[in-house]
Amino acid sequence: MATLRITQVKSSNGANRKQRGTLQSLGLGKIGRTTERRDDPTVLGAIHAVRHLVKVEES
């Protein structure tokens, strides 16, 4: 299964509590932090919720 490299590129300041929680569940929380996750519907939904704060690359 493919993996996604997710990098936080914008601050979570000003984001609502749910979006900050989503970032934490993805393993992010600080600008520049990167994590790799499997490409599955659950992760894609989380990425969609914070798409304005992160950059996603396939690897």
Would the pLDDT of 1 be above 80?
no
Determine whether 44 is exposed, middle or buried from the number of CB atoms within 10 Å of its CB (0-12, 13-18, 19+).
middle
Cβ-Cβ contacts under 8 Å for 21 (sequence gap 6 or more) = none
Cβ-Cβ contacts under 8 Å for 22 (sequence gap 6 or more) = 46, 49, 50
**Is 3-58 a CATH 3.10.20.740 domain?**
no
Return the pLDDT at 25: 96
Q: Where are the domains of the chain?
A: 3-58
pLDDT digits (tens, 9 = 90+) for 11-59: 999 999 999 999 999 999 999 999 999 999 999 999 999 999 999 999 8
Q: H or E element: which one contains 28?
A: none
- Say whether pTM exceeds 0.85: yes
**Nearest-angstrom CA–CA distance, 32 and 55:** 10
